[in-house]
A = this chain, B = another copy of it.
Amino acid sequence: MKQKSVDTVEFAKAIADETRQKIMAICCCELLSVNDIVEKTNVAQPTVSHHLKILKTAGLVRSERRGKQVLYTLNQERMAEGCCQVAENFAPEHPVERMG
């Protein structure tokens, strides 16, 4: 049962921005609209949409439309996969494993 492989460069690039990590933290355990995120981050709406697109393309957020809004949430599963793959590649002698 081989895991679907993760492109660790794409993964790292996707999370390598302060604004993006702010967004990720905010919608980590919640389903938030773009406007919610705009308000909580004090970042312009096009900027938020841009970052959400990058995260989406990397598979790190899920989105669903509800009426006029589009709700986003962090894909923790993918985050964990990315982290584990990085650790597997670059810390093979300091094992890190997913639990549960």
Residue positions of A touching B, CB distance < 8 A: 8-9, 12-13, 15-18, 21, 24-25, 28-29, 74, 76-77, 79-80, 82-84, 86-87, 89-100
Contacts and interface: CB of A to CB of B under 8 A. Distances in A.
Nearest to A17: B9
A94 B92 CA distance: 20
Nearest to A98: B96
Contacts of A8: 15, 21
A62 to B, nearest CB: 14
6 contacts: A12-B17, A28-B89, A79-B90, A94-B98, A95-B100, A97-B97
A30 to B, nearest CB: 12
